[in-house]
């Protein structure tokens, strides 16, 4: 039961995180750019598309939040998969393309969520009450 609650909490946290970044990027891309010390994307369609992507990912976290057992696949793809790859990409971009150090905040937040999600997913889930009730004694 514990790991289901952790997965629900991680789904909610990841959904709010991605949704918040997506909303700011969509509604105030200049503000987001100034926070990180970079120029706004030009043409703006690039930041709009990234915002829509983040909002879609955030909306998808609804399913593991509601049913962490049935939507574990989404947590695998978006947690260790996407967030892990995103963290590595931010680190590599900083190291080789010299992106601003402020981008390491995304590496840290995405990396932390990826690792926490991986740990939660790696734990065995307790059998549901229905399954244990149906098993012969």
> What are the residue ranges of helices labelled H in the chain?
2-27, 29-35, 45-60, 62-66, 72-76, 84-97, 104-122, 129-134
Residue 134: is its pLDDT beyond 80?
Answer: no
Question: Could you tell me the pTM of the whole model?
Answer: 0.88
**pLDDT tens digits, residue range 27-86?**
999 999 999 999 999 999 999 999 999 999 999 999 999 999 999 999 999 999 999 999
- Where exactly are the structural domains of the chain? 2-124
Longest Cα pair distance anywhere in the chain, in angstroms? 66
pLDDT of residue 25 exceeding 70, the answer is yes
Q: Which residues of 43-57 are buried (b: 16+ CB within 10 A; e: fewer)?
A: eeeebeebbeebbeb
């Amino acid at each position: 039961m514990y790991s289901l609650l952790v997965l629900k909490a991680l789904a909610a946290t990841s959904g709010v995180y991605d949704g918040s970044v997506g909303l700011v990027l969509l509604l105030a891309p200049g503000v987001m750019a100034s926070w990180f010390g970079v120029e706004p994307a030009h043409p703006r369609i690039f930041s709009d598309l990234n915002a829509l992507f983040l909002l879609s990912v955030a909306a998808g976290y609804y399913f593991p939040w509601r049913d962490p057992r049935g939507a574990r696949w989404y947590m695998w793809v978006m947690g260790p998969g996407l967030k892990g790859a995103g963290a590595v990409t931010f680190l590599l971009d900083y190291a080789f393309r010299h992106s601003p150090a402020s981008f390491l905040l995304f590496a840290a937040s995405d990396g932390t969520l990826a690792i926490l999600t991986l740990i939660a997913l790696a734990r065995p889930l307790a059998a549901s009450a229905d399954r244990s009730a149906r098993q012969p004694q």
